[in-house]
Amino acid sequence: MNRQRLATATAILGLLGSLTTSAWAGGPDPGRPAPPARVTRVLSAPGSTTALSGYAIQSTAEVTDSAADVSSPGYPAAGWHPAGPRSTVLAALLADGVYADPFYSTDQRKIPKADFRVPWWYRSDFTVADTSERTYLDFSGVISAADVYVDGKQVATTKDVTGAYTHHELDVTSLVRPGKNSVAFRIQPNDPARNLTMGWIDWLQPPPDENMGIVRDVVVRRGGPVALRDAHVVTELDVPSLASADLTVKARARNDSDAPVTATVSGSIGSTTFTRPISLAAHETRTVTFTPTDVPGLHLTSPKVWWPAGMGGRPLYELNLTASVSGTPSDTAHETFGIRDVQAPLNSDGARQYRVNGRKLLIKGGGWSPDEFLRWDRTYVEDRLKYALDLGLNTIRLEGHLEPDEFFDLADRYGILTLPGWECCDKWEGQVNGDEPGDKWTAADYPVAKASMAAEAARLRDHPSVVSFLIGSDFAPDATIEKNYLDALKTADWKTPVVAAASDNSSPQLGSSGMKMTGPYDWIPPNYWYAKREGGATGFNSETSAGPDIPTLDTLRRMMTPAELDTLWKDPGAKQYHRSPSSTFGTLKLYDDALTGRYGPPTGLTDYVRKAQLAQYENVRAQFEAYERNATDASKPSTGVVYWMFNSGWTSLHWQLMDRYLDQAGAYFGAKKANEPLHVQYSYDDRSVVVVDNRHTAASGLTVRATLYNPDGTQKFDRTSTGVKVNGDGAHAAALTLPSSVSGLATTYLLRLTLTDSSGKEVSRNVYWLSTKPDTLDWAHTDWYHTPTTSYADLTGLTSMAQVPVSATASTDSSAGTSTTTVTLRNTGSGGTPSLLTDVHLVDAKGRPVLPVRWSDNEVSLWPGESVTLTAAYRTEDLRGAAPNVRVSGWNTPEHTVPAA
């Protein structure tokens, strides 16, 4: 986040906030009761790991029993609330029906924050059949700190277990007994300004419990006298040939017994096997290493190289290790890894330029938000990552809120690069954060931060999708903190680039970040993005967008009352609870003033939403198109852009390419259009029409046609350029330039671009609504979140467009749980007027959107007689047993619904 963003944000930390989702589309269902806490049966085999299946939780204000009693087997926990294995306090209470849906209206204000200013108990029972093996509790993800008890005995204090990311392994062998055992955590309240945990900055209204709880698995490990820990593979890929790779296998062997032992550590990667004896004194730990020097099979010829999506395949390798004592397995370790090389040097302009396996790429990403209550739902996360691919993005940035292992497993699988890092505006940058919230560090915080870095480095290093760690966000760490982080990363054999900050800052060892955080975060016009200054398309912009992203009317009606919806379109100065707790972003005034100034005042809620979708489509499209066009420039090229944000953790009015329920509107389809594999686009700065090739292969024999129309469909200009060639890997080629003036062109006009390949097939179509009166920016008064606009483009001529009928026919095929609906649209109007931004929504029998869905294209514009066929892929079960229907609407197309069975 921009370091100035929270100048008034001290008050934010006292605000309440939370969310949930509804059952009929997208996300976890908070109304579904959590199952009763079950007794977890722990496996006995050496090397086995068993996650606790859930907890019973209760406020310490309601519990008078001693810690010894609470943590003893047989404790009744009468009246306690069930919680899942990864659950904040409030997530559990929502699932248990204690509170109403806080996603709706301002209902979250009714949740009393005082209930979460005292510690809460988390207790769970597990059974152990065989106590001859050693037993350990292994966990991270405690927010904010905890006293830990096993079978009535304290095994760790809050001084030991503190920080959301620190990793803990507690040897409880001496305490566990055959049969039932109990573990209890007394969780301390969280305050992101005082604890090295997680906060929400200005993304959304923060949850009243501040996410206190246990949000990662607590695992019971079993093993013999020698434990294997920290197993990983260090890869060295020969670049640029990619013809060979060297693998180095490392693990720590730890003797947990009171006597010396000789263990044999053996392992395999594919068909390559290796083994080595190791002698360990009592309680000694040593690192065992296998290299290509002593294991020739660890030198790979023609390795299977991992690539980001769209650049190649995504093969993964498996490491398996076993430590044996006297021929009996004592412990095992398993790790998945990929072979790839990442470099991110600074270019001649000082911008960070990423290369994967020797090939440059423009980072095109979005800022990630987890569920506000940190509820993990693999399907929901996977759906969003599939949306990222559908949008043509290649990267997700995680500012704090570093998701569980499965998130990075999915990113590896889908080829989505990730940029994890620490967050701003709270304790993480308290030592260097100027006037932002966040307490300064005390002596006790330094080891917690270093331990957090060590734990996350060990967790993330083998994931090929992880291409950097940002140790600072708005600010870079000072020399002491930086050294601690870098020492931890070095110890973990971290190989990918480490970046000092997401902003234009530097640290003593790492130097310049090579990134910028110059905004904007609120509305600016589309032509802003083409200026090579501030947030425009030059360098690496780590977080930026034009701010508000008004969701669809379907979603708005789910998240706001009728009175709130009236205020939404009638009163630009009104406080909008579903925007942000920040006073800077508390209203939609900048956005609404621009909407009125450019498109005309809204005449009602429906009109407001349809204008919002046009505005969001053109702005998001321009953002990505500008960065794509400038990526291969000789001077001040763009090297990365992260849309702020990719998604929201609750029902929001800003910073989202899709809404909480995974519905898609103007912002989504504007991004999807801009990031087409082979794409034709218009440049707002110099009127050039260029072709961008996001594929690896070059293209030739292309034809580009540009046609200008008045809103009534009267053609005023037409030009074709043939024989266009463009190189791959993000290169662009100019095809033609539109004239500065055209006779008879209306103040508001349309531009249609088409790109056809050498066979005459249309491969890209792009329609713009433009004005002879440009948006004028007041660059001199730029602040940290936007550049003022002194006069607006006149797009009001769009309101005069005649209504145009668009026919639709649809059919659906289903197989193996997946359905595909095919829709053919045709502009059947008798005049010359096109149908502008025609939207197709898949809906069920009650008219509710079927989500998630991936469209081949959408929000299309058709001239009279033109037709287009679109496809929508989705899970059959999301129809909820109903027959599919297709709802067609658009800027000047009457809404109607047709069957799609």
- Residue 309's closest CA among 679, 818, 681, 677? 677
Q: Are the C-beta atoms of 812 and 820 separated by less than 8 Å?
A: yes
List CB contacts of 828: < 8 A, sequence separation 6 or more: 805, 806, 807, 864
- The pair phi, psi for residue 662, each rounded to 5°, is 70, 25
159 CB burial (10 A radius; 0-12, 13-18, 19+)? exposed
Q: What is the pLDDT of residues 669-717, one digit of tens each?
A: 999 999 999 999 999 999 999 999 999 999 999 999 999 999 999 999 9
Model pLDDT for residues 717-774, shown as the tens digit of each residue: 999 999 999 999 999 999 999 999 999 999 999 999 999 999 999 999 999 999 999 9
Looking at residue 116, what DSSP letter applies? G
One-letter amino acid for residue 259 of the chain: A
Residues listed for the chain: 901
40-42 vs 806-815, strand pairing mode: unpaired
Measured distance CA(547)–CA(519) in Å, rounded: 10
Tell which residue, 236, 256, 233, has the closest CA to residue 321: 233
Tokens of residue 235, six digits? 């890869």
CB atoms within 10 A of CB 803: 12
Instruction: Tell me what pLDDT residue 752 has.
Output: 98
Pairing type for strands 417-421 and 395-399 reads: parallel
CA atoms within 13 A on the CB side of 164: 28
Identity of the residue numbered 840: V
Structure tokens at 100: 């109403």
pLDDT tens-place string over residues 432-470: 998 888 999 999 999 999 999 999 999 999 999 999 999
* pLDDT value at residue 38: 80
Q: What is the pLDDT of residue 37?
A: 62
781-794 per-position pLDDT tens digit:
999 999 999 999 99
Q: Which of 341, 383, 543, 878 is catalytic?
A: 543
What integer is the mean pLDDT of 409-429? Answer: 97
pLDDT at 23: 34
Type and span of the H or E element at 214: strand 213-214
Cis peptide before 66 (omega within 30 of 0): no
Q: What is the pLDDT of residue 302?
A: 97
Could you write out the DSSP letters of every residue in 323-335?
Answer: EEETTEEEEEEEE
Helix (H) or strand (E) holding 412: helix 405-414
Distance between CA 504 and CA 770 in Å, rounded? 34
Please give the Cα distance from 94 to 101 (Å, whole number): 8
Residue-by-residue DSSP string for 628-644: HHTTT-SSS-EEEEEES
The yes-or-no verdict on residue 22 having pLDDT over 70 is: no
**Number of helices and strands in the chain (H, E):** 11, 51
Tokens 């800077």 belong to which residue? Answer: 584
CA dist., res. 544 & res. 529, Å (int): 10
CB 849, CB 826: distance < 8 Å: no
Whole-number pLDDT of residue 13: 31
pLDDT for residue 36 is more than 70: no
- Count of CA atoms in the C-beta half-sphere (13 A) of 821: 29
Taking the C-alpha atoms of residue 724 and residue 721, their distance in angstroms, rounded to an integer, is 7
Relative to beta strand 363-367, strand 638-643 is parallel
Interatomic CA distance for residues 73 and 179, integer angstroms: 10
- Assigned token pair, 167: 């990793």
Residue-averaged pLDDT of the chain? 94
For residues 16 and 111, the answer to whether their CB atoms sit within 8 Å is yes
Percent of the chain at pLDDT > 90 equals: 95
**Digit-coded pLDDT (tens) for 351-364:** 999 999 999 999 99
3 state SS of 627: helix
Structure tokens at 468: 């950097």
133, 371, 429, 474: which one is catalytic? Answer: 474
The yes-or-no verdict on residue 33 having pLDDT over 90 is no
Q: Can 96 be counted among the known catalytic residues? A: no
Residues 570-592 as b or e (16 or more Cβ within 10 Å = b): eebebebbbbbbbebbbbbebbb
Structure confidence at residue 545 (pLDDT): 98
Q: In this structure, what are the phi and psi dihedrals at residue 226, rounded to the nearest 5 degrees? A: -110, 125
The pLDDT, as a whole number, for residue 35 is 52
Structure tokens given for 326: 């006297």
Residues 418-446 as b/e (b if ≥16 CB within 10 A, e otherwise) read: bbbbbbbbbbbbbbbbeebbbbebeeebe
- Residue 850: burial class (beta carbons within 10 Å; 0-12, 13-18, 19+): buried
Question: DSSP strand E in 305-373: where?
Answer: 317-325, 328-337, 342-343, 355-356, 359-360, 363-367
Q: Is the peptide bond before 36 cis (omega within 30 degrees of 0)?
A: no
Mean pLDDT (whole number) for 831-850: 96
Distances (CA, A) of 38 to 31, 148, 361: 20, 19, 48
Structure confidence by residue, pLDDT tens digits, 167-199: 999 999 999 999 999 999 999 999 999 999 999
Number of other residues whose CB lies within 10 A of the CB of residue 42: 23
Determine the Cα–Cα distance for residues 364 and 396; give it in Å rounded to an integer: 8
**Cross-strand partners of 726:** 699
Residue 378: pLDDT band (50, 70, 90) is very high
What pTM did the predictor assign?
0.94
Q: What is the pLDDT of residue 5?
A: 40
Tokens of 289: 């290493």
- CA-based nearest residue to 687, from 617, 744, 771, 756: 771
Bridging pattern class, strands 40-42 and 120-128 = parallel
Residue 63, pLDDT > 80, answer: yes
Taking each helix axis as running N to C, give the angle between helix 405-414 and helix 378-390, from 0 to 180 degrees, rounded to the nearest 10: 30
| Encoded amino acid at 194, one letter | R
pLDDT of residue 435: 85
Residue 114 contacts by C-beta under 8 Å, 6 or more apart in sequence? none
Active-site annotation holds for 878: no
Q: Are 61 and 118 in contact (CB under 8 A)?
A: yes
3-state secondary structure 243-290: CEEEEEEEEEEEECCCCCEEEEEEEEECCEEEEEEEEECCCCEEEEEE
Binned at pLDDT 50, 70 and 90, residue 7 comes out as very low
Residue 373 phi/psi, 5-degree rounding, is -95, 15
3-state SS, residue 195: coil
pLDDT at 476 over 70: yes
